[in-house]
Amino acid sequence: AQLDAFAARARRLMPRAAPVRAQCRVLNRVLFEEYGLKGNTEEYTDPRNSFPDEVLARRLGLPISLAVIYLLVAQRVGLELEPVG
């Protein structure tokens, strides 16, 4: 439900027919500025940084956890992004 809410907010702000880069800027704003998702630099090894439900609840996570959330929200707004290892 939370991922759907993030996507709904991004969809409301996203200009129609915007280039992918502009759509990603909107997604960045929603996830990282409005909802405050960020990397846990203080307690990087905390196991909760790896569990998506904990990351969503605490708004803190590992880069890979944040990337998974980003991809799931992007998919919901119709952005076809590919992760790069």
Report the pLDDT value the prediction gives residue 34, as an integer from 0 to 100. Answer: 97
Contacts of 40 (CB under 8 A, 6+ apart): 46, 49, 58, 60, 61, 62
Question: How much of the chain exceeds pLDDT 70, in percent?
Answer: 100
Q: How far apart are CA 62 and CA 47, in angstroms?
A: 9
pLDDT reported for residue 35: 97
- Residue 15 in 3-state DSSP? coil
- The pLDDT of residue 77: 95
Quick one: average pLDDT of 54-72? 97
How confident is the model at residue 16, as a pLDDT? 81
CA-CA distance, 45 to 40, in Å (whole number)?
9
For the four alpha carbons of 42, 47, 51 and 53, in that order, the dihedral sign comes to negative
